[in-house]
Amino acid sequence: MGLFTKADPAPAEPAPKSIQRQLLPFAILALLIATLLFTGYVAVTVAGILAHEYRRVRARWYLVWAAVTGFVALLAAQSATAWAGWVLAQLGHFMPRLLPHDPTNTDSALTVAAAFADRSLASAFAAELIAAAPLAMLTCALVVRYRSHARAERGTIEGERFSNVRPVGTLDRMRITRERAKVAAGHYLPAPPTPATVDQLLADLHALQAETTAAAPTATATASTTGRESAAPQPDSPPPTPAPTAPAVDPADPFALPAQHTIRRTSHEQ
């Protein structure tokens, strides 16, 4: 190796794969299996999350929908055991042997799920969709609650578009249009007075004006009498005190002090 010959760099060791990359194939496989066996649950969950991403649906609305769909599912299944069996309907349709059930025990959820092996795929999908809808809504509520804090922080940095603020939608525009029409038509203005009310107000105004006109001469005469009485001298009042007058100043010597201010000489000066 010469003086100016560069040594070959050592081959870089391959970077270890992150945990996310290692788990990615397993996550994809689990998602495919869940989509096959729980199609209704996955479809409702994905639709709910997309609705939140597009319209910023609040978590409380997902809870309300979970309660409503749960009530409907219980009514359709007619019992909690049947409802639990409907959740596993597609699993019982495709893989009934994976369900350790007793065919003689009809009150078991696994037996109800395994009974879908003899039914069509559409009936299994419909039963699983109805039963899994409340579970999917609960999942959406948890996802929304989990992402709300991070989305709020992102909104303070990147703007309102990425925050939890719900954008203006079709219903909002319809409400704005209705309110504008109401304002233009004077819906929020006070109702105009009736003719009877106007006549009563005019009568009250004329009566008040007549009372004011009649009271004006009396008030003027009272004021004049009061002024004359105040100007007349009172017999018991003391004589007025004369105002103090300024001492006279000698024009020949304006700087001479008045008589009452003459400085007395002391015996020494005399």
- For 12-46, write each residue's pLDDT tens digit: 566 566 777 788 888 889 889 888 889 999 999 99
Spatial distance between the Cα atoms of 139 and 52, rounded to a whole number of angstroms: 12
pLDDT, residue 115, reads 87
Give the pLDDT confidence of 6-21 residue by residue, as tens digits: 555 555 566 566 777 7
pLDDT, residue 270, reads 46
Torsion of CA 43, 46, 50, 51, to 10 degrees: 60
Q: Are 102 and 111 in contact (CB under 8 A)?
A: yes
Per-residue pLDDT of the chain (270 residues; tens, 9 = 90+): 555 555 555 555 665 667 777 888 888 898 898 888 899 999 999 999 999 888 888 889 999 999 999 999 999 999 999 999 999 999 888 888 788 866 777 778 888 888 888 889 999 999 999 999 999 999 999 999 998 888 888 788 887 777 877 778 788 889 999 999 999 988 888 877 888 888 888 888 888 888 888 877 665 656 556 555 555 555 555 666 665 665 555 555 555 555 555 445 544 444
Q: Residue 119 contacts by C-beta under 8 Å, 6 or more apart in sequence?
A: 93
Spatial distance between the Cα atoms of 253 and 250, rounded to a whole number of angstroms: 5
pLDDT, residue 75, reads 95
pLDDT, residue 30, reads 87
pLDDT, residue 57, reads 86
The number of residues in the chain equals 270
Spatial distance between the Cα atoms of 206 and 232, rounded to a whole number of angstroms: 41
Q: What is the pTM of this model?
A: 0.58
